[in-house]
A and B are shown apart, each in its own frame.
Chain A
């Protein structure tokens, strides 16, 4: 206890360099904890992009690709699913509900999703949360659109705003559907998922804007069908991009999956969202681990800074050591003194880091939520965080034993003679 008092007072005597060391360690600890926090929350948020869906079905391709375009709206489908196939599986005895998804158009960089009203009833995200309308209502009319929260916010759209969809999914499109504008009928609450960046229209609306198209180009002259004429046509879609299935009983998931994968009508692929998410995360995991390793090295740098500070102080402290030896301190006391010094610096750095991390989180929390749709809760450090911090403390003690050992050797050699 007395040694600890001596160590702290000795540090206090060199408070400027001690403070710098503590700040360096503190900042590195903040970085490490912050990265860990965002990492775990991003992972949790990623896993909660879709929930409650038992199977995702699309044209036969890779499971990650299917997940990417159907859930994350990234990339394109290689092929479509025939409407008959959708009807076939929607009426499958073990299927409770089926949501058709039709992609391919966009509006100012936001994806347009053609679907039906089941989407608003059965689609779930996060912890089985249902989509909520902040204002307006789901599409009723052929040319109604429901906007995700980010679409409305970024484009500044309100109810009844008219919008023209563009053909294709690029941010800039040269071919648009100006003849059949849509009207905003509802805006969804923020979900923190790709739904926020999606414009939802009915499948029939999707069909209507393409009804007079031939070979991927709009019709010309008399072949054109205007918006009102389109209403009288048969707007049953011919194909969709993918479908989400909810089953009556989750136990039958694998049986239904097998039925779909062996469907004779056309080659289809059914995937379990959880498994595909895992697969995708393991791809992203490399970057995530790299981030962790980098922040680990930053902590190491902070500790090396501490090591340097203590080591460089040793020479000018030979007098201090000799005085301590002359009043009866044993070499092991000198060793302990320096070890306690390192541990105190690291502990102060860790506490500072924790404080900074929580202060930063408190300040940045609303910003992260609004910018990235990621809610990072302020929770006390868990077992994982404590073990990380414990490892840092342990590492600092191990590193502190280097100057401690040097001082030990030095005090053995110097004895009671004062060398400065």
Chain B
């Protein structure tokens, strides 16, 4: 059980004053696995990501990340744990508009010593680590790198966001609909690059999306509706 990167054990969660939103008897993600989790909006997807990030704690049950029960950690330690072990890619506008491309990528290294040290283990400095990642994600032109991040295309922005999630080799990368703003061709190209980099960094990938056309590319695909008993109950009503 402790080999699993993520292990959810009989968790429930509800927002104050609202019916139970999540009731997941069991879910686990093995190290190195790339899992597709299908969930339409309103299905509790964002809340689940908040739970995995240790931002919220479940009402019942345990969330184990790398064998660590998040509920046992203080909120400060959960924040540090998230920073050290998880990279995030959001739907769009992932980047801080006032930082350069490279500064956006190295951002996690300023909040997590673990990730800074891992990034520096292979590269002379953080900027070089960022440039290396960016070039492998197909962003190596100098003109691109000097541009304001808001002047980049959505596809380019998402690749910068991927580089930021991957810097310092976190064990887990969580992607929340990162491709929804991309066209079909770019989606697949983006995913292949992301997979390659996850493999290289040794990171597992939890990919959340409502777009099931991408499912076949993953090791495993699940639907949030299938693992969440609360959703099944709501539907039956």
Contacts and interface: CB of A to CB of B under 8 A. Distances in A.
Nearest to A3: B110
Interface in B99-138: 99, 107-108, 110-112, 115
Nearest to B55: A415
A418 interface: yes
A319 B94 CA distance: 8
B53 A416 contact: yes
A222 B94 CA distance: 107
A169 to B, nearest CB: 69
Contact of B88 (A10, A319, A327, A330): A327
B99 A327 contact: no
Nearest to A326: B88
A273 B65 CA distance: 83
A328 interface: yes
Interface string A404-420: 00000000000111100
A384 B127 CA distance: 46
Interface string A290-329: 0000000000000000000000000000011011111111
A13 B103 CA distance: 15
A398 to B, nearest CB: 25
B6 interface: no
For chain A, which range describes its interface: under 10, 10 to 19, 20 to 34, or 35 or more residues? 20 to 34
A327 B164 contact: yes
Contact of A328 (B56, B79, B90, B95): B79
Given A10-B98, A13-B97, A319-B93, A416 B55 contact: yes
Contact of B111 (A12, A322, A329, A415): A329
A2 interface: yes
Contacts of B56: 415
> Which of A2, A322, A326 neighbours the largest number of chain B CB atoms within 10 Å of its CB?
A326
A272 B159 CA distance: 84
B4 interface: no
A328 B108 contact: yes
A375 B106 CA distance: 57
Given A2-B110, A416-B50, A418-B91, A328 B80 contact: yes
Contact of A323 (B53, B79, B95, B115): B95
Interface range for B: 20 to 34
A39 interface: no
Contacts of B90: 322-323, 326, 418
* Interface class of chain A by DSSP: helix
Contact of B53 (A320, A329, A330, A415): A415
A345 to B, nearest CB: 15
A285 to B, nearest CB: 49
A333 interface: yes
B7 interface: no
A13 B149 CA distance: 12
Contacts of A326: 53, 88, 90
Nearest to A414: B55
B76 interface: yes
A10 B104 CA distance: 13
B82 A328 contact: yes
B79 A330 contact: yes
B76 A330 contact: yes
A71 B194 CA distance: 89
Interface string B4-23: 00000000000000000000
B96 interface: yes
Interface of A: 2, 6, 9-10, 12-13, 319-320, 322-331, 333, 415-418
Given A328-B84, A328-B111, 20 more contacts: A13-B97, A319-B93, A320-B96, A322-B90, A323-B96, A326-B88, A326-B90, A327-B107, A327-B111, A328-B79, A328-B83, A328-B115, A329-B83, A330-B80, A415-B55, A415-B56, A416-B49, A416-B50, A416-B53, A417-B49
17 contacts: A10-B96, A320-B96, A323-B96, A326-B90, A327-B83, A327-B88, A327-B164, A328-B79, A328-B82, A328-B111, A329-B111, A330-B79, A330-B111, A415-B50, A416-B49, A418-B90, A418-B93
